[in-house]
Amino acid sequence: MAECVNDSETESPISYGDYIVLRRGDVFKSVQIEQKQKVIFEKQWFFLDNAVGQLYGTMFEIEAGGSLKLKAVKRSGNAAGNEDSKEAGQDNRHIVDDGRSQKLTRDDIEILKEQGLKGQEIVQQLIDNSTTFKDKTEFAQEKYIKKKKKKYESDIKVLKPSTRLLAMMYHGREPGKICHLRYDTLAQMLTLGNIHAGSKIIVFETCAGLVLGSVMERMGGYGSVIQMYAGGGPTRAGMESFGFPSHFHETLHEFPMCKVNALLAGTLELSEKDVDSQANKNGQSDSCQETSGVLEEKSSKPQSMEVSLDPEEEMKRARLREQRAQEKKVKMEEKRKKLASAAAQLEGRNADGLVIASRFHPCPVLLGMLKFVAPSRPFVVYSQYREPLIECYTKLREQGGAISLRLTDSWLRHYQVLPNRTHPVLLMSGGGGYLLSGMTVAAGTSKSKNPQKSEEPAAKRLKLDEISPSFRSST
Amino acid sequence: MSFVEYSEFIQEGDVVIIFLGHESMMPIKVQSGAQTQTRYGVIRHSSDLIGQRFGSKVTCSKGGWVYVLHPTPELWTVNLPHRTQILYTTDIANITLMLELKPGSVVCESGTGSGSLSHAILRTIAPTGHLHTVEFHAQRAEKAIEEFKEHKVSHLVTVRNQDVCKEGFGVSDVADAVFLDIPSPWEAVTHAKRALKHKGGRLCSFSPCIEQVQRTCEALLDHGFEEICTLEVLLRVHDVRAVTMPIPDFGPVEGSTDITQMASNLGQEEVPNAGNASVICRTATPPREMAGHTGYLTFATKPRD
């Protein structure tokens, strides 16, 4: 029972600032709890303030005025259905769709809603006023109730974020943002990448930070993650939604893609002066360094064009300028430190894994990043499309340094499991993207000359030779 | 070497995976003075392995070479000695994600079987989590304990030799997740519920037959489990290859369009072969046969007590 004490110790109630996941039925939404903040979820609006102080996993119902009310613990179950389902038809031979089976009109239902009737009561009203309900089969009755419940009963559960919930949420709500990466594919990535505590993982993703967050969750704050990014800065919204404790963030580094070549060539300039001068020199081309700087300059320009020669104003402005310069300096210094620490992580070229999931062409990304990975470490590349991964595969074969290459995708099917009504769910996802995975090895010196070089692909080439004549003969 | 921590160099007592070629690997235990025979010749542990970097190329006596790899749960899964039917990486990956396993998780598992899933769980929950695994077959339980020791993960796992359906997991109110891979999981649902924490947790049951799933789902519903969801995941491995496709000869055309131009019109590589024109098409083909079913995965959430 000692463990129980431990358990309650670590369990903290929902509080302001927490990142939470709301669940209604199969629909999820991630939000951060703020005071008196209106949240819109599934066509309903409410305030989360009443959830504060409660424990995670608590069920709420929405009351008039958008406040949440604790849902009674007693499980209502299918009480509404059970009493009525005693009387049921055998089949639907006498059920005619005349559009008049429901005696309540839309207006009637609206009135019921306005009266503040509970969802369950409205469902009961609908059942009572349905002339065909009693003739429906038991199964059809259940289905009817389930459908109505979904519409009128709106219980909302507040959950702690996890990769499972966020990956399902993103896939359901905004698949475009995560390059259509389905959760079972993400699961493969984390496992094939052997993501675990204590390792040093390089991540390059344009999946809103979801992949980054899932990697960080599996690392549990042990080890380090280097996020490579293209453009002005890393995207992390999805990662923020996990609500990691602050010590997790200390293990996270970021490195701009546009400095990879410099780092590899050993010409990356990290001393303070150099960064400064570099920034001044190529302010436009070096967008990742200077985006904020350029913006500042632009916004300050119209100001300086104003003709005001008031000396006091001038002084103020000068002071402001100085302050701004100071702030900029501090920011630069911070940026330099960050860059230096990320560079230090990469320089050893001894990363324990590489995870890529982006909308960029994976080939150059993979070939470039693989240089930072130690031998005998797994890597995994996601792409929404198969063809770019075929190219990666071919290039890697030519280049060497990687073995056990596999191009895969997975197929996911959900089942409805109910007494006498078990079958696959009618609608399934068409595709969850493709993965190329493999293992790094020490690059041999005389790779190309080695007679066994073709050992792996040999089997395939052989097959190809066998196959092509048959192609020819069949045409 | 440990299954939960990478190291750079091979040491005495390590388990290493010898990579012999496409899908051909073997695990070996490194012992000074020992030798291992492969089809490329002999590997002498003292000179060829100990002190070498993981991932390096080792030349065998016959002049052939192999790669030596650091063990991972995934490599172990395809190399372990089978004592039972095992779970493979595709299912393991989904189980890990859907059970929300991470460092620090406390997990109950039954049966231990050949330890394929156990190793993957241990990797994920280290360094602060714990696995309570139950195996009713005494010899298998014994063998699992031995392996965990050899793989330097025994501090993270407790193996119990008992019947989970009758005696449960041997712990209560400690688990964040429970995994069942037994013939009659519905008989273990009560024990699973007891093993899970008061604040709730996740459960997964793996069954090959739909009748087992049916009974399990009924039991889960009866015991107040929520979010019951059954799914199936299959992995498709694509064979990357370059296929040569011939182009038919339509005979001479007025204005003489070259047949090779047709090839370039297709935007593919041409085969420099006079007479018979053909193009090389880089593609990926599905395997002729693939695993069509492993098992149904049923997940559920135990709500707070």
Q: What is the pLDDT along chain A (475 residues), one digit of tens a residue?
A: 334 444 444 688 999 999 999 999 889 999 999 999 999 998 888 999 999 999 999 989 888 777 778 876 655 444 444 444 468 888 888 888 888 888 888 888 888 877 777 777 888 888 888 888 888 888 888 888 888 877 777 789 999 999 999 999 999 999 999 999 999 999 999 999 999 999 999 999 999 999 999 999 999 999 999 999 999 899 999 999 999 999 999 999 999 999 999 999 988 887 655 444 444 444 444 444 444 444 444 444 444 445 556 778 888 888 999 999 999 999 999 889 999 999 999 999 999 999 999 999 999 999 999 999 999 999 999 999 999 999 999 999 999 999 999 999 999 999 999 999 999 998 878 889 999 999 999 986 544 334 344 334 433 343 433 433 333 333 3
Q: What is the distance in angstroms between the Cα of B102 and the nearest Cα belonging to chain A?
A: 5
Residue B272 predicted with pLDDT over 90: no
Q: What is the distance in angstroms between the Cα of A104 and the nearest Cα belonging to chain B?
A: 33
Residue B34 has what pLDDT?
Answer: 95
Per-window interface: B 199-228 vs A, CB < 8 A: 199-200, 210, 213-214, 217-218, 224, 228
Q: Are the C-beta atoms of A188 and A333 separated by less than 8 Å? A: no
Residue A307 has what pLDDT?
Answer: 55
Q: Are the C-beta atoms of B42 and B35 separated by less than 8 Å? A: yes
Would you call B234 helix, strand, or coil by DSSP? strand
H-run or E-run covering B191? helix B189-195
Tokens of A157: 């559960």
Q: Report how far apart, in Å, the C-alpha atoms of B149 and of each of A57, A187, A374, B5, B298 are.
A: 38, 28, 27, 14, 31
Would you call B278 helix, strand, or coil by DSSP? strand
Gap between the Cα atoms of B200 and B174, Å rounded: 10
Q: What is the DSSP letter of B53?
A: B
Closest C-alpha among A254, A260, A247, A244 to residue A369: A260
Residue A3 has what pLDDT?
Answer: 40
Residue A152 has what pLDDT?
Answer: 76
Closest C-alpha among A79, A87, A163 to residue A118: A79
Residue B15 predicted with pLDDT over 70: yes
Closest C-alpha among A360, A355, A352 to residue A211: A355
Q: What is the DSSP letter of B30?
A: -
How many contiguous H segments (helices) and E segments (strands) does chain B have? 8, 15
Gap between the Cα atoms of A124 and A118, Å rounded: 10
Would you call B158 helix, strand, or coil by DSSP? strand
Residue A279 has what pLDDT?
Answer: 46
| Chain B residues closer than 8 Å to A405 by CB | 240
Residue B228 has what pLDDT?
Answer: 96
How many CA atoms, within 13 angstroms, populate the side-chain half-sphere of residue A445? 0
Judged by CB atoms closer than 8 Å, whether chains meet at A194 and B304 is answered as no
Q: Are the C-beta atoms of A368 and A230 separated by less than 8 Å? A: no
* Interface residue of B6, B18, B213, B236 to substitute, partner A, most A CBs within 10 Å: B6
A-B C-beta contacts closer than 8 Å: 215
Gap between the Cα atoms of A199 and A216, Å rounded: 11
Residue B217 predicted with pLDDT over 90: yes
H-run or E-run covering B146? helix B138-150
Q: What angle do CA A359, A363, A365 make, to 5 degrees?
A: 70
Would you call B135 helix, strand, or coil by DSSP? coil
Instruction: Note whether B56 contacts A: Cβ–Cβ < 8 A.
Output: yes
Residues 6+ apart with CB under 8 A from B134: B108, B109, B110, B111, B112, B159, B160, B161, B162, B164, B168, B169, B170
Nearest chain A residue to B70 by CA: give it: A376
More confident residue, A445 or B68: B68
Residues 6+ apart with CB under 8 A from B56: A375, A441, A442, B67, B68
Mean pLDDT of chain B: 92
Q: Are the C-beta atoms of B297 and B94 separated by less than 8 Å? A: yes
Of A1, A393, A411, the CB nearest to B236: A411
Tokens of B183: 């013939």
Q: Are the C-beta atoms of B93 and A378 separated by less than 8 Å? A: no
Residue B273 has what pLDDT?
Answer: 55
Q: What are phi and psi of B282, to 5 degrees?
A: -80, 125
H-run or E-run covering B18? strand B15-21
Q: What pTM was computed for the model?
A: 0.86
Q: What is the DSSP letter of B52?
A: P
